[in-house]
Amino acid sequence: MCGIVALFSNDEQIAESSLKLGMDCLKHRGPDGKRFWISPDHRVGLGHTRLSIIDLNHGEQPIANEDQTLHIIVNGEFYDFERIQGDLRRWGYKLKTNSDSEIALHLYDEFGTQCLHHLRGEFAFVIWDERNELLFAARDRFGIKPLYYSNYQNTLYIASEIKALLAAGVPASWDYEAFWQSEWGILAPDRTMFANIYQVPPGHFLIASLSGIKLQRYWDFDYPIIDNYSSQKTPSDYIEQLRYTLDEAVKLRLRADVPVGCYLSGGIDSSTVLGIAAKCSSKPIQAFTLAFDHEAYDEESLARETAAYTGANLQIIPINQSDLAEHFADSIWNCERLCINGNTTAKYLLSKSARDAGYKVVLTGEGSDEIFGGYVHFRQDMLLYNQEDQDEETVKILLEDLKLKNKVSMGLLLAEDSSNKLLNTIQRLLGFVPSWMQVSAEGYPRSIPLYSPEFIAKFSQKDVYRLFFNQIDVQGQLANSWTTARTFAWTATTPREPSWRRRWRWKAARGTQKSANRCS
């Protein structure tokens, strides 16, 4: 996790002081150093605060190409970068660093905006292209890394956090419509809580030039139409493919020149990630677990079992309701939007403990519920498709229950032949608080979720979802967890007994009221 700030003006010179003020606000994202570059005509400024993870001694940014016509600042990480470095050298490029960030600069030189299709990772970056007199900014496919912008008084401001834009000179005023939307949990992914401050949406890039500013999508989900899809794969085939893909995903995220830790709950997702990481590492993995003072929410005993079984070192972080109340304002300051439950503050304390222990990188189970249909409304939504394959009475009961709920916030309840315009509109509304934004404070360790487009692409067909949703009871819960147990058993992440007992999901305790979102 690093911090980036960029200023671009067509008409006037930018103020160096504004760039520096923005960088100062991002010191917590990049405590290991800061540098900036301003173009000779003072129309462009790029600033970077660094959290050093790869090429610790020579990875400073901004980075320029050989003839100084391209400059880049990056927040994030590009996976499989060493293979791309080899390709670039064969194509004649001379790399100045061993940093993964530099590959984006030369890929842009080679492919232009199409460079994004050659990059794999979680990232937000900005490139100044002197030859074409344009600023190019891009965000990863799932929006794991934040990227905000504002066009104010003929100057484009871009930064990793809103507070950096405000410090650089963008005025602060509330967007009351965004507040109203947030109360319903449907803030669109291009909006913020502030007027005239926007996000580059996930899977999009921004180009600013003399002709203005434009946003363009470069990636989206692409699922085959069910009636046009056929597969000869068996459930065992999908399980083997999932094993391989999980293993690859974790191995790629372990590549770092600093120690890598792991967040651990009592859930199967973080336990699986820890199990794979432990098998791939020659040293014990350091794991971090929250322990609540409320028995109904605490998973310490399960976490201890998992850590012992995988040989991980486990640090228990005890927290109570007073801790959550004391640090609630801190979590809001870092999240920069409304928080719907205490999980945000709990993650803040978890990440703070990892940072205090000297860890800059941690693996998490984030993203697994989205990939594997872990949320109840995903299972309910499936009943709208191929209803002839489901028990009629079960379908009726579940769909009647859905009528009592907010159909936008609970899931996408449209048939496949619905209008694409309507479909895309509702999809843009499903923008819940990104969990990766909750752990960016005070030099927090870079939290790496399981999400990746390659992972998603391999499991986007109908058959695998039928596999995971093979049995649904009238409450919308999986009645048979054999698939999940069988799939993850190979990782040896949990004790054989009681490894497949029902594992509860830790939630930040708030009296006796349960919170709705998962934090494993």
Residue 395: strand, helix, or coil: helix
Choose the catalytic residue: 2, 25, 262, 519.
2
The values of phi and psi at residue 499, to 5°, are: -60, -30
Greatest extent of the chain over all pairs of C-alpha atoms, in Å: 71
- Please state, in angstroms and as integers, the Cα–Cα distance from residue 372 to each residue in 92, 377, 455, 520, following that order: 42, 12, 11, 14
Residue whose entry in the numeric block shows the structure tokens 């790629």: 252
Spatial separation of the C-alpha atoms in residues 112 and 287, rounded to whole Å: 41
Q: Is 125 left (phi over 0), alpha (psi -120 to 50) or beta?
A: beta
Other CB atoms within 10 A of residue 70 CB: 21
Lookup: tokens for 474: 């009238």
262 catalytic, yes or no?
A: no
Both tokens of 133, joined, read 């007199």
Contacts from 336-340 at CB under 8 Å and sequence distance 24+? 336/161, 336/162, 336/163, 336/192, 336/193, 336/437, 337/182, 337/187, 337/192, 337/193, 337/433, 337/437, 338/179, 338/182, 338/183, 338/193, 338/433, 339/433, 339/438, 340/185, 340/433, 340/516, 340/517
**CA distances from residue 245 to 80, 455, 461, 463, 512 in whole angstroms, order as listed:** 14, 6, 15, 17, 39
Helix (H/G/I), strand (E/B), else coil: 15 = coil
* 494 vs 18: CA distance, rounded Å: 51
Assigned token pair, 289: 């677990």
State the CB neighbour count (10 A cutoff) for residue 482.
12
DSSP, residue by residue, 433-491 = PPGGGGG-STTPPEEE-S--HHHHHTT-SHHHHHHHTS-B-TTSSBS--HHHHHHHGGG
Q: Are 52 and 30 in contact (CB under 8 A)?
A: no
Q: Is 419 exposed, middle or buried (0-12, 13-18, 19+ CB in 10 A)?
A: exposed
Catalytic residues: 2
